[in-house]
Amino acid sequence: MLLACASGLIAANIYYAQPLVGPIGAALGLSPRAGGLIVTLTQIGYGLGLLLIVPLGDLVENRKLALALIIVAIAGLLGAAAAPHALPFLAAALLIGIGSVAVQVLVPYAAHMAPEAIRGRVVGNVMSGLMLGIMLARPVASLITELSSWRVVFYLSAVIMAGLAAVLACRLPLRVPVSKLRYGDLLASMGHLVVATPILQRRALYHACLFGAFSLFWTTTPLLLAGPAFHLSQGGIALFALAGVAGAVATPIAGRLADRGWSRAATTFAMLAVACAFLMTHVAVEGSALALGLLVAAAILLDFGVAANVTLGQRAIYALGAEYRSCLNGLYMATFFAGGAIGSAVGGWTYAQGGWTLASSVGLALPIIALICHQTERPSDGPR
């Protein structure tokens, strides 16, 4: 429970800005086409942290590493809250992303603590906390902005992170890794892992596509809902984003399915769910009550598919062994967060160029690409 709550609170930092692209961009002087950078810089920072810092979980005592990263996140949150214009905010966003990789020190930590027979369930439970944090971040940020200011969102999160660091310092058990490799050797080994681990290659590619679609959806739908078709306030957007929280139930379900050897079928379902979510948004006339209802249903279905797929992927790569678990997790997460960063940037640009029609077409293509790649797996390859 402690790890699940901590994971959710830390992961939320990456997503507070997602529904606030419009207000932040207007306040800091960013054009609509460049608005996607508000989210993209955080995801780039997260990706860099995954590649360069998370592997330290195989070398450095995990509690100290997590606490140091939370302090970095606090510095970034305070910088974003106080930023006078775009450049300092984007630099702070990068720092928030780097510090938030603390969550990916905690998730493998949970996997280390769990017996093999229930590892999928344990990872799924911790990931459910993480996904709840991701999904609640958007409505919470919108609601706070409606009541006060977007800057208050970042100030409040900095206070919460400080309290969390104090709790983890007192309650988190020590875990000293057994690896004797040097940091340079550990980073060099990551290249070998990429080349020599087909499961990692496939799982990272699958979720890069799905997470790219996820980021595109949640970067552009607030713009759509605030636009002339729907005229929703930040409070209305908060209620819309709250619907996506229902998708968090997918993580423990996916973990249990993986423990039973049903990863392949569950992965296919997750990819189809994300694709169908985008198709649903074109059934009704834009701006109608039915269109809004279908957007809500699409948000739930999309979040469900993405949450299920990330848990299935983590269960598969954690089964490869404990010695390089942090490296494997870092590579997996860095790859799909790169997909997410691209999805956010492309989403903002395509929405500015061609509205929801163009943006959602790109979003639909991504899970279809993943599904096509997934169907090339052979049964003899083993569970994925």
Classify residue 176 as exposed, middle or buried by CB count within 10 Å of its CB (0-12, 13-18, 19+).
exposed
Higher pLDDT, 234 or 291: 291
pLDDT for 378:
72
pLDDT for 382:
46
Domain ranges of the chain: 2-381
Residue 290 in tokens:
């039915």
Comparing C-alpha atoms, which of 311, 309, 328 is closest to residue 50?
A: 328
Domain 2-381: CATH superfamily, name plus number: MFS general substrate transporter like domains (1.20.1250.20)
Amino acid code (one letter) for 77:
L
Buried b (16+ CB within 10 A) or exposed e, 336-363: bbbbbbbbbbbbbbbbbeebbebbbebb
Which range scores top for mean pLDDT: 123-132, 226-235, 253-262? 226-235
Residue 342 in tokens:
């691209």
For residues 284 and 265, what is the distance between their CA atoms, to the nearest angstrom? Answer: 30
Q: Which of 154-163, 258-267, 374-383 has the lowest mean pLDDT?
A: 374-383
Task: Find the mean pLDDT for residues 344-366.
Answer: 93
Query: For the chain, how many residues are written?
Result: 384
Please say whether the beta carbons of 259 and 121 come within 8 A: yes
The residue with tokens 């305070």 is 78
Higher pLDDT, 252 or 165: 165
pLDDT at 384 over 50: no
pLDDT, tens digit, for every residue of 129-179? 887 888 789 889 989 998 999 999 999 999 999 999 999 999 888 877 766
In sign, the C-alpha dihedral spanning 46, 164, 115, 261 is negative
Percent with pLDDT over 90 in the chain: 44
For residues 126 and 119, what is the distance between their CA atoms, to the nearest angstrom? Answer: 11
Who contacts 371 (Cβ-Cβ below 8 Å, separation ≥6)? 268, 271, 272, 275
Which range scores top for mean pLDDT: 167-171, 308-312, 319-323? 167-171
pLDDT for 157:
97
Name the average pLDDT for the chain: 87
pLDDT for 51:
83
DSSP state for residue 60 in the 8-state scheme: S
Buried b (16+ CB within 10 A) or exposed e, 102-129: bbbbbbbbbbeebeeeebbbbbbbbbbb
Q: How confident is the model at residue 374 (pLDDT cuts 50, 70, 90)?
A: very high
Torsion over CA of 357, 358, 361 and 362, rounded to 10 degrees?
Answer: -150
Task: Find the mean pLDDT for residues 108-123.
Answer: 73
pLDDT, tens digit, for every residue of 75-105? 999 999 999 999 999 999 999 999 999 998 8
pLDDT at 270 over 60: yes
pLDDT for 119:
66
pLDDT, tens digit, for every residue of 31-77? 777 777 888 889 889 888 988 898 888 788 888 999 999 999 999 99
Degrees, nearest 5: CA angle 288-237-9: 145
pLDDT for 310:
87
pLDDT for 383:
44
pLDDT at 267 over 80: yes
The residue with tokens 């074109």 is 282
